[in-house]
Amino acid sequence: MTATAPSRTARQMLSKVPEITLWFWVIKVLCTTVGESFADYVNETLGFGLVPTTVLFGVATVVVMAVQFRLRRYVPSVYWLAVVLISVLGTLLTDNLTDAHDVPLWISSTVFSILLAVVFGLWYAREGTLSIHSITTTPREAWYWLVVLVTFALGTALGDWTLDLTGWSPGVSILLPLGLSIAVLLAWRAGLDAVLSFWVAYVLTRPLGANIGDFLASDRSEGGLGLGTMWTSLIFLGTILAVVLYLTVTRADEEPPEGHHDDHRHDLLPHHPHGQADPS
């Protein structure tokens, strides 16, 4: 699953996604936590209701994605705002199926898994690569964001389904996606394909962030810290803003000037100067 030359008719751009550094995974988890807590805050605490909240964030996502697609390079503030909004929207799509239409979580998980496989298949058939280092044309960027949306919806369904099956408390529930994420990292270090490892980790970090959000927001009587969805959202949105400002100033997550990548080894984490993958 390596990159191929983009079609001659596709609009050429610089890379539209960040480098896969530790910062990428930190802010990805932060965004997924906001996706869970902020959706609950607007829907339940503010009383907007599930459908109006979904419409609100759907419109906001469309507006930000329009800006994102007009850019010709990676801009941290726009990119990560898009991820935050898609995280919330993906959560709401699953919540609508579960709460408004009584669709069992195992069905949602199955449907989104099949949909993700179909999108990956079409993306690969059309572009010849699933590596995010190849996001240099508009069609590839469109496939990328579609996959991101489906992974958030799938991660929500899988995470909620797991909680229903196990009955674990919010704190304990963090351990499963965390353990699986570490297992993917170890498998990648042992030689598992980097593109496959990246996308599996991308799905797993969604329930990880959501479970962290539930742990922080849930009442102490339920095993949480009792911060509530508002404070949890504000804390994580503030942290995301701080990290994005840091990345904007330092450009620590932008593609190297030479733009060279080894797609088989670099999709999960950055490359160590001495030739070894550096997990930190």
Q: Is residue 182 one of the residues assigned to a domain?
A: yes
Q: Is residue 3 one of the residues assigned to a domain?
A: no
Q: Are 61 and 86 in contact (CB under 8 A)?
A: yes
Q: Is residue 200 one of the residues assigned to a domain?
A: yes
* Residue 54 token pair: 């979904």
Confidence of residue 257 (pLDDT cuts 50, 70, 90): low
pTM: 0.84
Q: Is residue 261 one of the residues assigned to a domain?
A: no
Q: Is residue 257 one of the residues assigned to a domain?
A: no
Write out the residue range of the structural domain in which residue 91 sits: 22-250
Q: Is residue 114 one of the residues assigned to a domain?
A: yes
Tens-digit pLDDT profile for residues 163-203: 888 888 888 989 999 999 999 999 999 999 999 999 999 98
Tens-digit pLDDT profile for residues 103-123: 999 999 999 999 999 999 999
Model confidence at 263: pLDDT above 80:
no
Q: Is residue 264 one of the residues assigned to a domain?
A: no
Q: b or e along 195-221 (b: 16 or more beta carbons within 10 Å of the residue's beta carbon)?
A: bbbbbbbbbbbbbbbbbbbbbbbbeee
Q: Are 100 and 52 in contact (CB under 8 A)?
A: no
Query: Looking at the 3D structure of the chain, how many domains does it have?
Result: 1
Q: b or e along 20-36 (b: 16 or more beta carbons within 10 Å of the residue's beta carbon)?
A: bbebbbebbbbbbbbbb
Mean pLDDT score, 118-140: 92
Q: Is residue 151 one of the residues assigned to a domain?
A: yes
Annotate 103-163 with DSSP letters as a single string.
--HHHHHHHHHHHHHHHHHHHHHHHS---GGG--BHHHHHHHHHHHHHHHHHHHHHHHHHH
Q: Residues 126, 130, 135, 136: what is their CA dihedral angle, to the nearest 10 degrees?
A: -50
Model confidence at 70: pLDDT above 80:
yes
How many Cβ atoms sit within 10 Å of the Cβ of residue 90?
27
